[in-house]
Amino acid sequence: MLEFLMKGGILMIPLGICSILALAIILERAYNLRLPRVIPADLIQQARHLLAEDQVEEAVLLCRRHASPIARIMLAAISNYDREKEELKEIVEDAGRQEVPVLDRYLGVLGTIAAVSPLLGITGTVFGMIRTFATISEKGVAHPSQLAGGIYEALITTAAGLVIAIPSLIFYNYYAAQSDRLVLELEKQAYRVLEILKR
């Protein structure tokens, strides 16, 4: 397998870097975009219980102890509980907007890898074809097996680029959709907290 990859030429190095980066981002997002990590059910339950008991300060302390997006949004809501309902709603929406970059972290890089990998692969193939045709022009028409070997080596980078790009694009779209779903769920949970605050 290593020998196969070595035949791809110098452009296999950036393709290898792209594959490592893509895998790291895919694994990181798989861990950090889980519902229990973004919206821990026990945190929401505890916060709602404290607010129902009018223990606002304890609810603030609870939210400060957690590093999840919902904790930060609830903290913004609870810290401003004495504001008017419409103003409080704006505060929650603003806090939610600030969490979007956290949920979308590294997705731009993953999308770029999905777009660039096939281009790097095609560039490697073009360089390989140029080398093949340069050999033909120097030595004349070669045996078909020699041509096939050169073309075979030239196509390795295209295959590698596609192997990197396809899963990167699939996971990019999946995580972008997951992020959108989580933003909606964050808002829904924050509004439930608002209902308790403004009952």
67: Cβ contacts below 8 Å, ≥ 6 apart: none
Burial class of 48 by CB neighbour count within 10 A (0 to 12, 13 to 18, 19+): middle
Q: Give the structural domain span for 186.
A: 2-197
Please write the tens of the pLDDT for every residue from 88-111.
889 888 998 999 999 999 999 999
- In whole angstroms, how far apart are CA 2 and each of 6, 177, 178? 6, 36, 35
Domain count within the chain? 1
Q: Which two tokens stand for residue 151?
A: 């073309």
Q: Is the dihedral of CA 153, 159, 163, 165 positive or negative?
A: positive
| 72-78: average pLDDT | 91
Write out the H or E segment, with its range, that includes residue 140: none
pLDDT the model gives residue 128? 85
- 8 A C-beta contact, residue 176 and residue 21: no
Position 5 scores a pLDDT of 66
Confidence of residue 197 (pLDDT cuts 50, 70, 90): confident
pLDDT at 89: 85
Per-residue tokens: 50:
């404290």
Token readout for 181 is: 């779903």
Q: What is the pTM of this model?
A: 0.85
Q: What is the pLDDT of residues 32-50, one digit of tens each?
A: 999 999 999 999 999 989 9
b/e sequence 114-148, b meaning 16+ C-beta within 10 Å: bebbbebbebbbeebeeebeeeeeeeeeeeeeeee
The per-residue DSSP string of 75-111 comes to HHHHHTTTS-HHHHHHHHHHHHHHHHHHHTTTHHHHH
